[in-house]
Structures are given as structure tokens and as C-alpha cells.
Structure 1
Amino acid sequence: MLPFVRCLLLVLALLGAAGLAVAEPTTAPPDSSRVRQAHRRVVFQFDQRYSLLQGQTVGINGLKLGVEWRGRLRTGLGLYFLSTGVPTNAPVPEFIPPGTEDKVRFRYAALYGEYVVVGTPRWEVSLPVQAGLGRYYIRYQYPDGTFYRTPKRNIWLIEPTIGGHMRVFRWVGLGAGVGYRQALLTADKLEDDISGVVFYGRVKLFLGDFIKVVRGHERLFSQRGLRRRDHQPRP
């Protein structure tokens, strides 16, 4: 296993242990409409993104684990890998026969930070930024079906995005986001092949709120907790 993956798994375990030892929830001021969470909590996410690379839409699959502080700041680590190869403009070695298909593939680990600019019971808009280190290689598939793969090399990436979601009900929401991935310092000068616009759309399940709704025997498709008056002081 690669050294950076070993380190990632170790830090993820430490983050999980730290997040499980959360403090008691704080009490929000009666007139606050902003979401107030516990002092800190563990956040986990399947992160499916898409990019326009070399005129193709390709998927990038990922897992993120981190810690959230007071519903405003999230930090953690993620693992990503390209689900499909991307055609490359890298120079073709002389021994590669004509008609060969060449594609670049990569995977990387990333540190991320995310600040919630707008955080109400119904809406959230945030600014995530992540920086990663990974490995990439070029896969050449010959006309006869056999293939050759180049040695793996390092790749650095930085990815700023803006995203948000709207809760349809207390326990489920719809989200979307857009950003840009910039590759840096690749040995084969493949920055333009791997860099590109990033976008996503997702359905978000808020598991903690779903459990509270079920345990409290509340209406599953209620707007309770999402309206401003639910967070205003009672006369």
C-alpha cells in the first residue's frame, strides 16, 4: 500500500475517534435561524463528481471523512479515483504501434476544508477547497487487445468549488456544486489533460435527523424544523 494511503487511513481513524467524543450540544439563542450543531461531530460522505476532460464527461468517485465544528467549518480527508480513463495528449513512445488507444488514469488523497457561508435550517451554501497528492499512469491498449501501462508517477491537485443544498424535508435534501480541478507538476506535462471543470448533483440523506424523526414518531414528510417560525421565541 502506498505510504500516503497508509497515512490517510491512520488520520481517518484518529478523526473518527476524535469526532465520536463530541461535546454536548450547545443551546442556540431563541432568535437564531442559523443551524446550530454540537461543538463537533463526525461527517462522512460518498462524493461522486464529474468533469469535462478532453471533451468527455468522466466520473470521479470519492469518500470523505472529517469533523464539523458548530455547523460552520468542516475539515478532513478524502480518497478519489477516476472511474474512466481520459484520452491524453502525452507524447507516444516510439514502440507503441499505430491505432493504439491511450488513456490516463489517476487516484489521489486530499485534505479539504469547507466553510459554510449560509447555514439555515433549510438552506446551505458552502465554499469547499481541497488539495491532494496522488499517482497517475497512462494505459496504452494495442489493436490486438493487449496493453502496456507506464510506471506510476506523482500528481498534485488543487480543487476549489462552491456548493449548496436545500432540504426538501428535515432528513433529505437536494444539492449541487461546481468548481475547477487544477493538476500541478506532472512529469509528462499532463496538467491540461487532467485539469478541468468539476460539477455534481446529489441527493443528501441526513441520517441523524432521519433517526430523530423515526424515534420521535414524527411525520416523515413534514416541514417541521425547516420553517423560520420553528426557531423563533414563543410569546
Structure 2
Amino acid sequence: MPVAPAALHDSVTVRQAHRRFTFQLDIRNSIINHRVVTLPGLKLGIEWRGRIRTGLGVYLLSNGIPSRQPIPAELPAATAAELRLRYVAGFGEYVVLGNPRWELTNQLQLGVGKTYAHYELPDGSVVRSPKRVIWLVEPSIAAQMRVYRWLALGTGLGWRQPVFVNSLTQRELNGPVFYGRVKVSLGDLYKIVRGRERVFSQRGLRRSEW
């Protein structure tokens, strides 16, 4: 006998009465100093009633990028400088429009971390500048599609704005952010495995079941 939508006791529906834990691989790309760079991150969060999500993420700049900041006077003029960045961020996300398959959200991330310059001298030796605390504000919008009840793919676009830092660092690190993400609903996956259901089932995601 087919299961009616009202009988689905998981998070397929947009509005749900319970909380669920989520895990995300969040690959953020940005333009820094006229180059496209990648800031891979991992996020853990909680979803409330299918509409509000909160949690924490950890990010790091995957590759150093050439810095436009002046080379310290005590270093040789031919020294190459790269910028490095690591930070953690708390996030809040709200589902503006959605159904069991698709959703549109807005998100705000507030991050704090450290940035420093990595100097490579002409003789191959390396010197690092002192690490400086940096604060980041990242508003964005995102779209997401559920592939299965427990797995979703998404993409987003936003802006990264450093605050409480000097003007040179701010000009280097502010800019557009565009990202892709893979989200796993740990709660749904656990229920599917516990109930011995088909892991790759489309139950509840078809329009006829909404």
C-alpha cells in the first residue's frame, strides 16, 4: 500500500516538528587579488522545523595567493609574498521558498580567524609574518536540490567582508563568494538504515506525494 505524504515521519516535508543534525562539505570559491581561490570547509549544524539552520564551520585557504601588501624593509626586494587565511564561522540560514525537492535560502556567516603572510626569500628560505586576528561577515543566497531524502546538492553566491582589520587586508580579502556544497542529513540517514529502507529511495520527493 502506498504511503501517504502525511505518514512520512522524517524531514522530507519542508515544515517538520523535530530537529535534525546535518553535515556539509562547503567548497567556497572567491576572487582575491584578481585570482580565483578555493576555501574548503566542513560544517556541522542543526535544522529546526525545516526552516532555520544554525551551526559552525571551519575553513582554510587551500593555496597561498600573491599578496599586494608591501614587502617588509628588512627582506630582499625579490622576496615573493603569499597570503594565508584560516577561520571558523557560525552560520544561520533561513529557507525562504521550498518544497520537498527544491529550496531557496538566505544565509549569514560570522567568522573569526587568523591571516598572515608567507614570504619566500630568493635563497629559498621561508619567513612568516605575525598572525593577525581577522573577523569576516559573509551574507549569501543559495539554492538546493534533494537527490535523496538524506542527500542534497546546492550552490550559492554571496560577499565576504573583513571587519576590524587594516585597510590593506580589507581590500585584499573582501570580494564575491560563490560556492558548492554537499549536505548529508545524518538524522534521515539513521532512520533509513534503522528502518531497513532503500538508501537511494525517492519516497516523499515526487511531486505526487507532496
> 1:87: how far off?
1.7
Structure 2 match to 1:50: 29
Partners of 2:44 and 2:188 in 1: CA distance: 19
Structure 1 match to 2:160: 181
- The gaps in structure 1 that reach 5 residues or longer are 1-26
What SS does the corresponding residue of 2:209 show, helix, strand or coil? helix
TM-score by length of 1: 0.75
Contact 1:90 1:188 in 2 (8 A): no
Partners of 1:79 and 1:174 in 2: CA distance: 19
What SS does the corresponding residue of 2:168 show, helix, strand or coil? coil
TM-score by length of 2: 0.83
**CA offsets per residue over residues 114-150 of structure 1, 9 Å max, x none?**
1111221101111110111211111111121101111
The structure whose residues are more often helix, as a share, is 1
Structure 1 match to 2:118: 139
Which residue of 96, 101, 126 maps to 1:117?
Answer: 96
Partners of 1:65 and 1:109 in 2: CA distance: 12
**CA offsets per residue over residues 75-126 of structure 1, 9 Å max, x none?**
2222222111122211221122122110111212222111111221101111
Partners of 1:140 and 1:93 in 2: CA distance: 10
RMSD: 2.5
Partners of 2:49 and 2:61 in 1: CA distance: 33
Q: Which has the higher contact order (CA 8 A, sep 6+)?
A: 2
| Equivalent AA in structure 1 for residue 114 of structure 2 | R
Partners of 2:183 and 2:22 in 1: CA distance: 12
| Equivalent AA in structure 2 for residue 99 of structure 1 | A
Contact 1:50 1:198 in 2 (8 A): yes
Structure 2 match to 1:20: none
Structure 2 match to 1:228: 207
**CA offsets per residue over residues 166-200 of structure 1, 9 Å max, x none?**
12333433311111111123246211111121111
Partners of 2:37 and 2:22 in 1: CA distance: 26
Partners of 1:167 and 1:42 in 2: CA distance: 16
Which sits farther off after the overlay, 155-164 or 78-87?
78-87
- The gaps in structure 2 that reach 5 residues or longer are 1-5
Does residue 95 of the first structure (1) align with residue 74 of the second (2)? yes
Does residue 108 of the first structure (1) align with residue 87 of the second (2)? yes
The percent of aligned pairs where both chains have the same amino acid is: 53
Structure 1 match to 2:148: 169
Contact 2:22 2:186 in 1 (8 A): no
